[in-house]
Amino acid sequence: MASTAAGKQRIPKVAKVKNKAPAEVQITAEQLLREAKERELELLPPPPKQKITDEEELNDYKLKKRKRALDVDHRNIALWLKYAEMEMKNRQVNHARNIWDRAITILPRVNQFWYKYSYMEEMLGNIAGCRQVFERWTEWEPEEQAWHSYINFELRYKEVDKPLNSSALVIVHPDVKNWIKYARFEEKHGYIAHGRKVFERSVEFFGEEHVDENLFVAFARFEEKQKEFERVRVIYKYALDRIPKQQAQELFKFYTVFEKKFGDRRGIEDVIVSKRRFQYEEEVKASPHNYDAWFDYLRLVESDADPDTAREVYERAIANIPPIQEKRHWRRYIYLWINYALYEELEVKDPERTRQVYLACLDLIPHKKFTFAKMWLLYGQFEIRQKNLQAARRGLGTAIGKCPKNKLFKGYIELELQLREFDRCRKLYEKYLEFASENCTTWIKFSELETILGDTERARAIFELAIGQPRLDMPEVLWKSYIDFEIEQEEYDNTRGLYKRLLQRTQHVKVWISYAQYELSIDTSDRLQRCRGIFEEANKGLRSCEEKEERLMLLESWKEFEQEFGSDTTRERVKKLLPEKVKKRRKLTAEDGSDAGWEEYYDYIFPEDAANQPNLKLLAMAKMWKSVNKNTDIQLFIYLDILTIELTAVTKQQIQYHYLGESCK
């Protein structure tokens, strides 16, 4: 048992890790190697010292070092160059080729290696080998100069077809200048058709997003040399339609020079128009809602372009709807639609498209917020010109029902008047007055219509309804029209009745004067008495009027009447009624209540007012004192103080200032 137990191998115990969490400090393999390097745990013995005794041994040592140099630093460009040059100096051509092959294989982006390699092969007369080097080089898509070196190499050996068949340069480096060089190369060697194809390919390659004016200038000058003037003109116009204005200055310059040399007056005008079109395009692109710029642009297009182009510009313009639904923002915009419709009707003569333009505009306008009566009326007039009366009436009726306006009613009524549809006019006037009963002009026009038709009773009834309205915008015009109507009908009693009714509502001086002049105009025996009686009644009525200028106006008119038709007695009577003009002063008060000084003004004192104001008697007595007694001003003050009339301080100052002037200060 003991031997059996002793013969068994003991299995070592596996240590159990109690804490399986990662250590706080992690150590990487890179860190271990760095620490080993720093502590120099692996010390290498220094190389053995070698003594060189002769030249052959020195050359062997140098060769060994050179071979090891490329192994140590194979990216050292100078090392490769010196190595290859050494082989070439020693006429070891194959060795040099091997070195260049290794160099361009390891470092293919170092152009100097390729230049040296190709130059060596060309100098050795190995043209095929040089071409092969260039072919290998172009596979790496090098810079432009490498391609030009290749092209020049082929040209030196009259291999024109090889560069012609190789258009890889413009594919690898698709710059405009390279396309131009390619086309000029074709032109230089007499391949005109190929050169034109190169230009066409370049235009197609760049498309409309990356156009360049230099390309089109070169293309146009190429065609100009071939005497293809129409092609040149088409190229310039095509380019101007697609290149922004600020990038086409040279293009405009060359186009203008071309037209001056080979074009006529029309061609020069086309250049100017094209330049202006570019300017307008830039303006509308910068500010699409600048409708004035659109108007200028459209005028230019209408005068020069075909209808399709003009329509395209119109559609672009009307697409810029004002962002705010307020009428003031839409006023200029709506004229784009109007001009569009007129252009289609008058210039293109397409009535169906004109109708579509009008209807599209009317559908676009937010009629619940505002409308444009001008647009409705223009549409109605258009349908009348097309002899479509039902459509015109239907459109105007829709306008009145959807968004009634004064201008719409007036335009519709004017249309029916021209058509001599008087019953329709009456109905429209009735609708108009239901919509705006305070509009005096409408009442007057309605009555004038009935008067023209000979129905005076209906006209008089309309006037009676009008003056009975509770609110009118111009009542004085309405009353005057009514009075003139009765005068034309020679209904003098009705006219007097109207004047009396009007004077019950207003005591305006012009009404009194008009009434008096009316009585004077009637050829009757008592017209002077009637006129004078009206003046007397007016004078009594205006005594309580605060506006003394109106009463003075009445008396002046009365005075003129008496001078022409009155006697000395009546003239003297009116003269006594005239007021006296007096200069007065009144105290001014600022908005904040402070004293603002004194102000001079003129007042009119009527004889009736003087009898009721004792202060005026005092003024007359003071005036008389100064005219009779030439003593000092102090005597006047003493006289004023003696008077037993109580005066306010302001009245006293007025008297002193009026009669003594500056000395009272």
According to the per-residue pLDDT averaged within each range, which of 296-310, 330-344, 404-418, 528-542 is highest? 330-344
Q: Which tokens in the block code for residue 194? A: 């190929």
Position 337 scores a pLDDT of 92
The distance of Cα 315 from the centroid of its chain, to the nearest Å, equals: 17
DSSP 586: E
Residue 323, number of CB atoms within 10 A of its CB: 8
| Total of domains in the chain | 1
AA identity, residue 178 = N
658, part of any domain: no
Cβ neighbours of residue 361 closer than 8 Å, sequence gap 6 or more:
318, 334, 337, 341, 375
406, part of any domain: yes
Q: Is the pLDDT of residue 644 over 60?
A: no
pLDDT band of 181, cuts 50, 70, 90: confident
Q: Which tokens in the block code for residue 305? A: 């372009």
Alpha carbon distance 243, 249 (integer Å): 10
pLDDT digits (tens, 9 = 90+) for 238-284: 777 777 766 776 776 777 677 666 665 556 566 666 667 777 777 88
Task: Note if the pTM is more than 0.85.
Answer: no
Lowest-pLDDT choice from 275-284, 286-295, 641-650: 641-650
Alpha carbon distance 233, 520 (integer Å): 83
- Nearest residue to 501 via CA among 516, 515, 520: 515
Task: Answer whether 226's CB lies under 8 Å from 192's CB.
Answer: yes
Alpha carbon distance 651, 443 (integer Å): 53
At CB < 8 A and 24+ separation, what contacts does 122-129 make?
122/153, 124/93, 127/157
pLDDT band of 157, cuts 50, 70, 90: confident
Cβ neighbours of residue 153 closer than 8 Å, sequence gap 6 or more:
118, 122, 130, 131, 134
Q: Which residue has the tokens 């002193």?
A: 656
Residue 553, number of CB atoms within 10 A of its CB: 16
Alpha carbon distance 661, 656 (integer Å): 7
400, part of any domain: yes
627, part of any domain: no
367, part of any domain: yes
The CATH number that applies at residue 405 is 1.25.40
Q: How far apart are the first and last CA of the chain?
A: 157
Q: Which tokens in the block code for residue 48? A: 């053995």
According to the per-residue pLDDT averaged within each range, which of 34-38, 94-98, 152-156, 194-198 is highest? 94-98
pLDDT band of 616, cuts 50, 70, 90: low
AA identity, residue 573 = R
83, part of any domain: no
pLDDT band of 5, cuts 50, 70, 90: very low
**Crossing angle of the two packed helices 568-577 and 548-565, in degrees rounded to 10:** 170
112 versus 602: the higher-pLDDT residue is 112
Alpha carbon distance 169, 151 (integer Å): 10
pLDDT digits (tens, 9 = 90+) for 14-25: 556 567 777 777
Lowest-pLDDT choice from 276-280, 287-291, 442-446: 276-280
Domain that holds residue 341: 321-431
Q: Which tokens in the block code for residue 40? A: 């120099």
Considering the chain, what is the average pLDDT of its residues? 77
Q: How many residues are listed for the chain in this entry?
A: 665
Task: Answer whether 218's CB lies under 8 Å from 180's CB.
Answer: yes
pLDDT digits (tens, 9 = 90+) for 409-423: 888 888 888 888 888
Q: Is the pLDDT of residue 145 over 80?
A: yes
Phi, psi of 540 (to 5 degrees): -65, -40
Alpha carbon distance 227, 192 (integer Å): 12
354, part of any domain: yes
SS3 state at 348: coil
Percent of the chain with pLDDT over 70: 81
Q: How large is the average pLDDT for residues 424-434?
A: 87
410, part of any domain: yes
